Amino acid sequence: MLIRLAAAAVLLVLCACSGPQAPFSPGFTAELTPTPPVVGREFDVRLEVAEASVPLLDAAALELEGHMTHPGMAPEVARLVEDAPGRYRARIRITMAGEWVLLVTGRLANGRPVREEVARATAVAE
Protein backbone atom coordinates (compact mmCIF):
# COMPACT_ATOMS: atom_id res chain seq x y z
CA MET A 1 0.00 0.00 0.00
CA LEU A 2 2.79 2.34 1.02
CA ILE A 3 4.59 1.61 -2.21
CA ARG A 4 1.52 2.22 -4.32
CA LEU A 5 0.94 5.56 -2.61
CA ALA A 6 4.54 6.57 -3.10
CA ALA A 7 4.28 5.68 -6.78
CA ALA A 8 1.14 7.74 -7.14
CA ALA A 9 2.87 10.64 -5.43
CA VAL A 10 5.88 10.46 -7.74
CA LEU A 11 3.59 10.31 -10.74
CA LEU A 12 1.70 13.38 -9.64
CA VAL A 13 4.89 15.34 -9.09
CA LEU A 14 6.13 14.32 -12.53
CA CYS A 15 2.90 15.50 -14.15
CA ALA A 16 3.24 18.77 -12.33
CA CYS A 17 6.85 19.32 -13.35
CA SER A 18 6.77 18.17 -16.95
CA GLY A 19 3.59 20.31 -16.94
CA PRO A 20 1.50 21.11 -19.93
CA GLN A 21 2.06 24.73 -20.87
CA ALA A 22 3.43 27.07 -18.25
CA PRO A 23 1.12 30.06 -17.89
CA PHE A 24 2.08 33.10 -19.86
CA SER A 25 2.76 36.49 -18.21
CA PRO A 26 2.02 39.21 -20.73
CA GLY A 27 3.65 41.93 -18.60
CA PHE A 28 0.91 44.11 -17.15
CA THR A 29 1.29 47.27 -15.14
CA ALA A 30 -1.70 48.18 -13.01
CA GLU A 31 -2.99 51.36 -11.52
CA LEU A 32 -5.65 51.28 -8.82
CA THR A 33 -8.02 54.09 -7.90
CA PRO A 34 -8.62 54.75 -5.13
CA THR A 35 -5.59 53.51 -3.23
CA PRO A 36 -6.02 51.97 -0.81
CA PRO A 37 -9.28 50.36 -1.95
CA VAL A 38 -12.23 50.80 0.40
CA VAL A 39 -14.34 47.84 1.48
CA GLY A 40 -17.80 47.72 -0.03
CA ARG A 41 -17.09 50.20 -2.80
CA GLU A 42 -16.07 49.50 -6.34
CA PHE A 43 -12.64 50.51 -7.45
CA ASP A 44 -11.00 50.88 -10.82
CA VAL A 45 -8.11 48.89 -12.11
CA ARG A 46 -6.40 50.25 -15.22
CA LEU A 47 -4.04 47.90 -16.92
CA GLU A 48 -1.44 48.48 -19.55
CA VAL A 49 0.33 45.60 -21.21
CA ALA A 50 3.82 45.35 -22.71
CA GLU A 51 3.69 46.28 -26.39
CA ALA A 52 5.00 42.92 -27.59
CA SER A 53 2.07 41.12 -25.97
CA VAL A 54 -0.67 43.32 -27.46
CA PRO A 55 -1.31 41.23 -30.61
CA LEU A 56 -1.55 38.03 -28.56
CA LEU A 57 -4.31 39.21 -26.28
CA ASP A 58 -8.05 39.31 -26.60
CA ALA A 59 -9.80 41.17 -23.81
CA ALA A 60 -12.82 38.91 -24.10
CA ALA A 61 -10.75 35.95 -22.98
CA LEU A 62 -9.27 37.72 -19.94
CA GLU A 63 -10.52 38.26 -16.43
CA LEU A 64 -9.34 40.08 -13.38
CA GLU A 65 -9.39 37.90 -10.26
CA GLY A 66 -9.04 39.39 -6.80
CA HIS A 67 -8.03 36.85 -4.15
CA MET A 68 -7.46 37.42 -0.48
CA THR A 69 -4.17 36.13 0.84
CA HIS A 70 -6.20 34.42 3.56
CA PRO A 71 -7.42 31.05 2.30
CA GLY A 72 -11.13 30.39 2.22
CA MET A 73 -12.27 33.91 1.45
CA ALA A 74 -14.43 34.57 -1.59
CA PRO A 75 -12.52 35.83 -4.62
CA GLU A 76 -13.92 38.62 -6.77
CA VAL A 77 -13.91 38.24 -10.54
CA ALA A 78 -14.40 40.96 -13.15
CA ARG A 79 -14.30 41.14 -16.96
CA LEU A 80 -11.62 43.19 -18.66
CA VAL A 81 -12.78 45.92 -21.02
CA GLU A 82 -10.43 47.08 -23.76
CA ASP A 83 -10.14 50.90 -23.90
CA ALA A 84 -7.49 51.05 -26.56
CA PRO A 85 -5.05 48.47 -27.93
CA GLY A 86 -3.00 47.32 -24.95
CA ARG A 87 -5.08 49.28 -22.42
CA TYR A 88 -7.69 47.58 -20.31
CA ARG A 89 -9.99 48.47 -17.49
CA ALA A 90 -11.93 46.54 -14.88
CA ARG A 91 -14.13 47.49 -11.98
CA ILE A 92 -14.07 45.29 -8.97
CA ARG A 93 -15.84 45.43 -5.61
CA ILE A 94 -14.10 44.04 -2.58
CA THR A 95 -15.93 42.70 0.35
CA MET A 96 -13.46 42.45 3.17
CA ALA A 97 -10.64 44.42 4.76
CA GLY A 98 -7.20 42.94 4.39
CA GLU A 99 -4.67 41.83 1.84
CA TRP A 100 -5.79 41.30 -1.73
CA VAL A 101 -3.85 39.96 -4.67
CA LEU A 102 -5.04 40.87 -8.17
CA LEU A 103 -4.41 38.42 -11.00
CA VAL A 104 -5.14 38.58 -14.70
CA THR A 105 -6.13 35.13 -15.93
CA GLY A 106 -7.49 33.66 -19.15
CA ARG A 107 -6.18 32.26 -22.41
CA LEU A 108 -4.32 33.36 -25.48
CA ALA A 109 -5.77 32.69 -28.91
CA ASN A 110 -3.52 29.60 -29.20
CA GLY A 111 -5.00 28.23 -25.97
CA ARG A 112 -2.00 28.90 -23.75
CA PRO A 113 -3.14 29.91 -20.27
CA VAL A 114 -2.47 33.43 -19.04
CA ARG A 115 -1.81 34.06 -15.38
CA GLU A 116 -0.07 37.08 -13.97
CA GLU A 117 -0.12 38.81 -10.61
CA VAL A 118 -0.63 42.49 -11.41
CA ALA A 119 -1.02 44.15 -8.00
CA ARG A 120 -1.39 43.73 -4.28
CA ALA A 121 -3.48 46.00 -2.16
CA THR A 122 -4.57 46.24 1.44
CA ALA A 123 -8.22 47.14 1.50
CA VAL A 124 -9.38 49.26 4.40
CA ALA A 125 -12.74 49.50 6.09
CA GLU A 126 -14.69 52.68 5.43
If we measure between CA atoms, which residue out of 12, 10, 51 comes closest to residue 29?
A: 51
Q: Which of 5, 33, 34, 84 binds other proteins (CB under 8 A)?
A: 5
User: How far from 67 is each of 13, 37, 71, 72, 79, CA to CA, in Å?
Assistant: 26, 14, 9, 10, 15
Q: Which of 4, 33, 110, 125 binds other proteins (CB under 8 A)?
A: 125
Look up residue 61 and give its DSSP letter.
Answer: G
Q: Which of 4, 16, 33, 34 binds other proteins (CB under 8 A)?
A: 16
**Spatial separation of the C-alpha atoms in residues 97 and 69, rounded to whole Å:** 11
Q: Does 61 interact with other proteins (rule: CB under 8 A)?
A: no
Q: What is the contact surface with other proteins in residues (CB under 8 A)?
A: 1-2, 5, 8-9, 12-13, 15-17, 19-21, 23, 65, 67-75, 77, 95-99, 101, 103, 113, 117, 122, 125
